[in-house]
Structure 1
């Protein structure tokens, strides 16, 4: 099917057979459907004179090197704008919004053209707040694409229970319960501790994926990064960076919503969100997003302390 990319457990299939990538079991994405994205031609080397590109599908891996088998260091999601640094074959080295520099497959992105981005030419946007939401080709129709929490889509119109949204290269319809409307240029309002806990618990059961940042598969710091992002708090991407951020206040007795940190193979190698009453929620490499206790011997022996970014 032209203009289609499917990710199924264990594989990604691309038309033309380039940028083939094996992903962790359980990661499932449907992305870049031609019916939504205008059926445009796949990106090729002729299109990348622009210094910026946008993510065309649901989620795209960012890799440490432009080659098969390279480590996935993070992910980018629908509509995110990336800065192009250089090209190597079918790969682009990009700087991504979470601060990483890495390599993306050219077929996963579209050239950014001024005025044509998903937030260009509109006054308001929809911030996706559901872990994963379907986008339909028409209001009330079946989902033909997925978007994930944190994606920002231009608002084109409002129907009964639906938002008409602007996508990279096209448009679609998103259920109104899957997002919130904000002015373009404004971030989400700063969430309360209760808001952060409610967002975090939406991820329970999500599988662990190294470098993941979405409810299709996530790692520990990608989890805290995403939960805080949609609650108006910008974190750095990695656990050690979050631990050392100057905005972070060291606290002896964490409150619900604060971050708790642990040692491991690195001095700071794991992070979760404190729930209260000795429990925390985190993306475990063995079990995905789960709840554990701080007094569990494994975590008690590795506990480094808590940091608070919450002022209320």
Structure 2
């Protein structure tokens, strides 16, 4: 009996040590090294896409998992607190005590919808290495005239055209835009495809689209439409008092859709209604009035 107890105790100790080692071996953070990385509901690229993480985004690592094919997946959390699973191939894991990518010093914020990045400062001699989507931020090593040299999140050096972005000193806060400027920005995305979970010009869903417009306009809100409606610190607006820049929310029983007002009657949104793309609709059309839930406005 005593021998059985000792063996059981040793087994428990081994399990405890292995668990501690596994927790210790899981990195705490990393940076996205692909242009646009799908975040899945589970560690499987056939699962549903819940959101996307963009090039240069630092993510918290919550846990790791190896699939049957020995591929490593990480459950990550983006800066807006959204969680999902990404392939290990999409991440560069930070070393202990390493500072987050592009968190300080000279950086370039991408303002073009997509900025192509090259091995050499020439668009004619080779294909691009990759692209950086709008709102992504890259370390800018140096620049002169048309071209700048960036250090990518995977530590490669590459070249980018300076007309694709703005030079900033990190950390920085985007300046607050006027409602009219927000509309001008939002219209740049007209006709881009709808993509469930999308947060980039490759494809956008409704909440990813307005979150991106607000972020570029100096206002941070959370990711999903229902959370934006209840928990983003926005002001409630009475029906009939909607104005340019406000968010309008829809759904039959609960919040399932969001758009942004571009004047007192129309709103712009990423939708599958009629055509799956970013488009302008009339708030007072019978369909939208039948599922209208409310309006929210950023604080001044």
TM beyond 0.5: yes
Q: Which residue of 1 aligns with 2:12?
A: none
Q: Distance in 2 between matches of 1:119 and 1:186?
A: 11
Return the offset for 1:116.
7.2
- Of 109, 119, 131, the residue aligned with 2:102 is 119
Deviation at 1:137, TM superposition (A): 1.8
Counterpart position of 2:260: 273
Greater C-alpha radius of gyration: 2
Matches within 5 A, 1:225-264: 225-245=211-231, 247-252=233-238, 253-264=241-252
Query: Which secondary structure does the structure 1 equivalent of 2:295 belong to?
Result: strand
How far residue 208 of structure 1 moved from its aligned partner, in angstroms, is: 0.8
1:2-25 CA-partner distances (Å, limit 9, x unpaired): xxxxxxxxxxxxxxxxxxxxxxxx
**One of 147, 157, 173 as aligned partner of 1:187:** 173
Aligned-pair CA distance for 1:87: 1.1
In 1: Cα distance, 2:244 partner to 2:149 partner: 36
Q: Which moved more, 1:134-143 or 1:98-107?
A: 134-143
- Structure 2 counterpart of 1:165: 150
Q: Retained in 1: the 8 A contact 2:243–2:264? A: no
State the TM-score, normalized to the length of structure 1.
0.79
Distance verdict in 2 for CA 1:215–1:68, change over 3 Å: closer
> Unpaired segments of 5 or more residues in structure 1?
1-44
> 1:156 maps to what in 2?
141
> Matched residues in 2 for 1:49 and 1:66: separation?
16
Structure 1, 152-161 or 136-145: larger mean CA deviation: 136-145
Cα deviation 1:157-210 (Å, max 9, x = unaligned): 122123322211212222222212222111211111122112111111111111
- Is the alpha carbon distance of 1:309 and 1:220 closer, same or farther for their aligned partners in structure 2, counting shifts above 3 Å? same
Closer, same or farther: CA 234–174 of 1 in aligned 2, 3 Å = same
- Name the CA distance, whole Å, in 1 between partners of 2:207 and 2:134: 15
Aligned to 1:23: none
Q: Could you tell me whether the CA contact under 8 Å between 2:194 and 2:204 is conserved in 1?
A: yes
Q: Deviations over 1:222-246 (max 9, x none)?
A: 0011111111110000101111135
Count of aligned residue pairs for this structure pair: 263
* C-alpha contact (below 8 Å) 1:60/1:104 kept by paired residues: yes
Is the contact made by 2:242 and 2:264 (CA closer than 8 Å) also made in structure 1?
no
3-state SS of paired residue (2:229): helix
Report the alpha carbon displacement of residue 49 of structure 1 after superposing the two structures with TM: 4.9
- The residue aligned with 2:46 is 69
Contact residue 258 and residue 310 of structure 1 kept, 8 A:
no
Describe the SS at the equivalent of 1:198.
helix
Mapping 1:276-295, distance limit 5 Å: 276-285=263-272, 286-295=275-284
Q: Within 2, Cα distance between the matches of 1:195 and 1:166?
A: 31
State how far apart, in whole Å, the 1-side matches of 2:200 and 2:48 are: 17
Q: Tell me if structure 1 keeps the 8 A contact 2:117–2:159.
A: yes
- Aligned partner of 2:11 in structure 1 is none
> What is the DSSP-based 3-state SS (H/G/I as helix, E as strand, rest coil) of the residue aligned with 2:107?
strand
Q: Measure how far apart 1:78 and its partner are.
A: 0.3
Counting only pairs closer than 5 Å after superposition, residues 3-14 of structure 1 correspond to structure 2 as: none
1:175 aligns with 2:161: yes
SS of equivalent to 1:209: coil
**Structure 2: gaps (5+ residues):** 1-21, 67-71
> Contact conserved, 1:239 with 1:269, CA < 8 A, in 2?
yes
Paired residue for 2:120? 138
Whether the aligned pair in 2 keeps the contact of 1:94 and 1:104 (CA below 8 Å) is yes
**Aligned counterpart, 1:18:** none
Quote the Cα distance in structure 2 between the aligned partners of 1:155 and 1:68: 32
**Which of these residues, 88, 110, 121, is aligned with residue 65 of structure 2?**
88
